[in-house]
Amino acid sequence: MASRQRRLRGTVAALAGTLAGTLAMSGGAAQAAAVGNLREIKALGEAADQRPQDKQSATPQWELRTDAQTLIRISLLNKSMFRIWAGAKGKLSEPGNKAAAIVEKEPSGWVDHQMSDAGDHHLLRTEEFALRIYKKPLRFELYKADNRQPLWQETLGLDLSDKLSVQTLASDKGERFFGGGQQNGAFEFKGKQLEVSYSGGWEEGDRPSPAPFLMSSRGWGVLRNSWADGSYDLRDARQITLAHQEGRFDAYYFVGPSIREVLAGYTLLTGRARLLPRWAYEYGDADCYNDGDNIKKPGTVPPGWSDGPTGKTPDVIESVAKKYREHDMPGGWILPNDGYGCGYTQLPEVVQGLAKYGFKTGLWTENGVDKIKWEVGTAGSRAQKLDVAWTGAGYQHSLDANQAAYQGILDNSDSRPFLWTVMGWAGTQRYAVTWTGDQSSSWDYIRWHIPTLIGSGLSGQAYATGDVDAIFGGSPETFTRDLQWKSFTPVLMGMSGWAAQARKHPWAYEEPYRSINRKYLKLKLRLTPYMYGLAREAEQSGAPLVRGLMWDHLGDGNDAQALSEAHKYQFLLGRDLLVAPVYRSQAASQGWRKDIYLPEGLWFDYWDGRQVRAGKQGQTLDLQVTLDKLPVFVRAGAILPMYPEVLFDGEKPKDQLTLDLYPSGSSQTTLYEDDGSSRRYKEGEFSQQEIRMQAPAQGAGDVRVEIAGVQGRYAGQEARRSYALLVHSRTRPQAVELGGQVLPELKDAAAFAAAESGWFFDADDRYGTVQVKTAKQDIRQALSFVIRIAADAVLTEGSGFPAAPVLGREVPVDSLLVVARPAEEPGHPLENALNGGKRDGKPESWFRTSRNQAQKTGPHEWVLGLGERRMIDGIELAPRNDKHWKYGQIRDYEIYLSDNMGDWGAPVHRGRLKLQEGLQKIAFKAAAGRLLRFRVLSVHKPDEEEGTAAQDPMVTANQKGGEAPVAKAFNAFTPAEVPPIVLSEFRVMEQRQPLQAEQQQHYLSDLPALPAGFAKDKPASSKAEMRMNGLQFRKGLGAKPGAKLALNLSGGWSRFRADVGIDDSCRGDKRGMEFQVWGDGRLLYSSGLVQAPAVVKPELDVRGLQLLELRSVGAGPGQTSAACGNWANASLLGPEDARVSPSKAR
């Protein structure tokens, strides 16, 4: 331990005076300044190192002053939480809170601790941590309670200016970071730039509800108590930089054995997600009905759709709510005024009419809650959706808006508030569901929402989601697949009336989609007690409901994977249910969901009962799926409480409790219940019931189930209920006992259904299940069941999980988007060929181009969006697949790849296809791009061809019907005639690169030689250290205007990154510089004009590039050579065998 400490201290010493990056700030941020040396430290109030007699004494606090006139206050809030608050010029300033503060309530009161002088530092210790306060310069280091294991260490003292505050901490390769609020598509950020600001969009990579919170796998977290934009540079393996665009530093730190305790501390401070009313966990439905039957929004409903006869809000009752029940479809709440300027009419009547069908009413709130007293208190609405029309300003304005709506429901009803919002910040989770905004549906939309929900939960946003099938809709298949997995998340809603796609009512789709939607929504309601228990846990501890592997499965032997995003496209609902959403179409995936990772332990396939026992390293498997199957696995030992099947909460009494049991070892759960609507549970009106199960950890043997009597009371509580057990035993028991009495065995399911109590064994249900039920019992009576199973009984073996067939290198068709298309015959679009002509050989499923009088000549061409930047190395295509296959075949072609439409450069490949039947393969050297352009330059003419001469315009050709050759004049200005083409298949092939567990970071300043105009690890015009905006950079290239660096790349480099700006030594030159990155002769990146003190951070995908060039461009003629820019931290990332060497610049 001591040697490890010395190594780490040595690392910190080596890194002191170093910065991996700084915030890319606009608006002319002033130069940051170090806080200086500690001059004085004193305790505030009573003696802060002894516990006073008065146990209610004030929070222990200390004031620190430096020789740079910095004032710092340290507050010890509890044994695992403290605050560091700093200001320049001897003053501390508040964050500027208005109606709602980021910090809901700061803990106060005495905390046991020790403060001592250890020579070069002061030491503050509690039961949970040790904080070292170094004197010269003033610098902080945080350790675990033993004062030996570092949590974080400042490599520089705090940097403060009037517009920027920066903290720089040591890190290591194994440390992982979570937080940042709702960051679309991600939940772990080591090696990334984590932006804490609104991005202005809603897609993958955007930030609908960011939060200035960071949490480390080491067991610490920090909340910056700020409304200012932040940027956390976590790219360097050795240190991180946390910056906010304000001149004050105000941070709360949390310490714990794991991220569980850290998140508990953060949510204790900023507020936890409150328990929602039970109906809020059901499907929600939103649209505008006060619009003259869609007159106000033409083109936003399917053809022929009518909202109802009056065009007013009450139409929703018969046209929507009633239809849910007619189709036996669950649903819990409706927003009938969802749309800009929609408004509503006859709201009290609407509330009553919807209630008749079991729906609660909510309202879309466009510009305030001035009517909320009447809407909630008189009309009876119970939910509020706060859209960007009101909350779009974000930050303080958004939090204030959410507080106002939340308080409006509190003040005018006894209900629990239920809010949806966008543009949240730290603290929003205590008021509202954070949803990800407005998107168009796609398979990618499903994919990236999975890590989004995991990451939101790791920032305290326990209720996070996106619209089912997105606001603008997709297809029946994407709707059903999206609804399936979101049925295993807390909240979900469909929004209709925003695009002319199918309605977002689950009943509005034809079969089989309607039945599948019904199945999953009914299951969601049955699992309400399981979900409700997790929601109660979230309110009490801040624990997320939707979890990544890092929450419950650290210590399983594969922590590196659990902490990373290696398995980011699956999640756990609580501890017991593992869900792997399907984000590929059935056609593209051929009915397989691949790469499902199961952590250590025994897992059951929820639908068919197959088992898999994962070892210490976990197990990855493929699962064959039908349209109605969502991959769901249940942890062995799970106890899943379930209510009777209903369409909405309250439709039937909860007078039977079903326990779905997966016996394995010892396990227990607590059933939490209350009235499901009011806030009286906070006054103690709730109940709890302990349920325990004991079974052999492996093999056969007795299964014991103990159900304790219910403790606690609430209004509407069932006095008596029956119990049903579904035990996944995999063998017939010898007997089943209740309270020592043998229950009767029933011969079949029909007899079991008719009996009041008893049991039967269903050998055909998931390899064998025991079903048990009791007569109604007093809920306060304890029950004890024993399922007698012989120790030598043979458990039914299930079939295994075969691997998916190799699907090849084809880019999934559901990832392709036709960006530009040629003239097509009606009914024969390019999508036909992308879908393989449905492989049915029918002419109606081919892709066919056409020619008309407007465009009779020139190439056919089309452009495909690839979904992401990919390495493409081939095309596979086939002509028509009938007896006329010779006609319409492509002959000469060109292929282009680019990241930007129109910026094509030279083709990556050109060639000529043979005139042949069946599939042809085009192979070329892999090239990277987001867009692929295919140009058809000529077409085979089988009736004329004899060799290739007939295609050459410079020679004569036999003309049809002629007896002798006829000369054809050649005109270079006339485009070649390219007849129509026909394709039955067109596939894009991707070069699949193996995942690299470890990547090297190669700093370009370590090259053996640099060209003129560049300096190694210092400014080009000075011998001083490299600094930008007052912050020092250890590695980088100083560059003069006009300097160029060309590099030969080989071996698979993946990314280039740098921090570029003007060195502080050249701040007097106001003209600035432009920084460009070129790849293989094409411009990949331009910074635009950068002027001090701004710093920008390019990070580029360089896969497939052979030549990389850095160009430093002066602002204009006459710029002096004394001007100096910096390519700080300029580096390449790639595998260990990748190589880079200087090349002669072009």
Q: What is the pLDDT of residue 1021?
A: 81
Q: Quick one: what percent of the chain has pLDDT higher than 70?
A: 91
Alpha helices by DSSP H, listed for 357-471, are 372-374, 388-391, 395-412, 443-457
The token pair that represents 53 in the structure block: 């007699």
Q: Give the model's pLDDT for residue 489.
A: 99
Q: What mean pLDDT do residues 1012-1026 have?
A: 89
SS3 403: helix
pLDDT at residue 32 tops 70 = no
Tokens, residue 1071: 């003209």
Q: Which residues pair with 177 in a beta bridge?
A: 216
**Class of domain 278-568 as given by CATH:** alpha beta
Residues 6+ apart with CB under 8 A from 764: none
For the chain, give every domain's residue range: 2-270, 278-568, 653-788, 813-990, 1000-1143
User: Rounded to whole angstroms, how far apart are CA atoms 713 and 685?
Assistant: 6
pLDDT at 4: 36
Q: Does domain 1000-1143 have CATH number 2.60.120.1060?
A: yes
Q: Which of 183-192, 301-310, 623-632, 787-796 has the lowest mean pLDDT?
A: 301-310
Q: pLDDT tens-digit profile of 200-236?
A: 889 999 999 999 999 999 999 999 999 999 999 999 9
Residue 26 exposed, middle or buried by CB count within 10 Å (0-12, 13-18, 19+): exposed
Residue 900 contacts residue 1085 (beta carbons within 8 Å): no
Give the model's pLDDT for residue 9.
Answer: 41
Burial class (CB in 10 A: 0-12, 13-18, 19+), 1104: buried
Q: What are the pLDDT digits (tens) for 1087-1139? A: 999 998 888 989 899 998 999 999 999 876 655 556 799 999 999 999 888 99
Which sign, positive or negative, has the C-alpha torsion 187, 192, 197, 203? Answer: negative
Mean pLDDT, to the nearest integer, of 680-685? 98
Question: What is the spatial distance between Cα 538 and Cα 883, in angstroms, rounded to a whole number?
Answer: 65
Q: What's the pLDDT at 839? A: 59
**Is the per-residue pLDDT at 869 higher than 70?**
yes
Q: Does this chain's domain 2-270 share its CATH topology with 813-990?
A: no
Given the DSSP bridges, would you call strands 611-614 and 249-255 parallel, antiparallel or unpaired?
unpaired
CB-CB contact of 870 with 990 (8 Å): yes
Separate counts of helices (H) and strands (E) for the chain: 17, 69
Question: pLDDT tens-digit profile of 932-960?
Answer: 999 999 999 887 764 443 444 433 344 44
What's the rounded mean pLDDT across residues 185-193? 96
Binned at pLDDT 50, 70 and 90, residue 29 comes out as very low
1001 φ/ψ angles, rounded to the nearest 5 degrees: -115, 110
Query: Above 60 in pLDDT, residue 13?
Result: no
pLDDT of residue 1023: 76
Q: Minimum mean pLDDT among 588-602, 636-650, 969-983: which range?
A: 969-983
**Average pLDDT of the segment spanning 248-262:** 98
Distance from the Cα of residue 592 to its chain's centroid: 22
The alpha carbon torsion through 172, 174, 178, 183 (nearest 10 deg) reads: 90
CA distance 840 to 834: 14
pLDDT tens digit sequence for 126-170: 999 999 999 999 999 999 999 999 999 999 999 998 889 999 999
Local structure of 506: helix, strand or coil? helix
Select the highest-mean-pLDDT range: 38-47, 302-311, 833-842, 998-1007: 302-311
- pLDDT band at residue 740, thresholds of 50, 70 and 90? very high
User: Tens digits of per-residue pLDDT, 515-537?
Assistant: 999 999 999 999 999 999 999 99
Report the pLDDT value the prediction gives residue 814, as an integer from 0 to 100.
87
On whether the CB atoms of residues 1102 and 1034 are closer than 8 A, the answer is: no
Name the CATH topology of 653-788: Immunoglobulin-like (2.60.40)
d(CA 670, CA 655): 18
Q: Which helix (H) or strand (E) holds 255?
A: strand 249-255
pLDDT in tens, 414-450: 999 999 999 999 999 999 999 999 998 999 999 999 9
Q: How far is 482 from 470, CA to CA, in rounded Å?
A: 9
Q: Which CATH class is domain 2-270?
A: mainly beta
Please provide the average confidence, as pLDDT, over all residues in the chain. 91
Look at 730 and 1122; give whichever has higher pLDDT: 730
How many other C-beta atoms lie within 10 A of the C-beta of residue 995? 6
The answer to whether residues 916 and 945 touch, using CB atoms and an 8 Å cutoff, is no
Instruction: Please list, residue by residue across 523-535, b when 16 or more beta carbons sit within 10 angstroms of its beta carbon and e when fewer do.
Output: bbbbbbbbbbbbb
For the chain, the maximum distance between any two Cα atoms, rounded to a whole number of angstroms, is: 121
pLDDT tens digit sequence for 494-522: 999 998 877 999 999 999 999 999 999 99
Q: Are strands 159-160 and 150-153 parallel, antiparallel or unpaired?
A: unpaired
So what's the pLDDT on residue 949? 39
Q: Which residues contact 332 (CB under 8 A, 6 or more apart)?
A: 279, 280, 281, 282, 283, 284, 358, 359, 360, 648, 649
Which of 988, 1118, 1105 shows the shortest CA–CA distance to 1042?
1118
Summarize pLDDT for 536-551 with one digit per residue, the tens: 999 999 999 999 999 9
Phi, psi angles (nearest 5°) of residue 708: -75, 160
Report phi then psi at 205, rounded to 5: 95, -10
- Class of domain 813-990 (CATH, top level): mainly beta
State yes or no: cis peptide before 512, omega within 30 of 0.
Answer: yes
Q: What is the pLDDT of residues 334-360, one digit of tens each?
A: 999 998 889 999 999 999 999 999 999
Check pLDDT > 60 for residue 27.
no
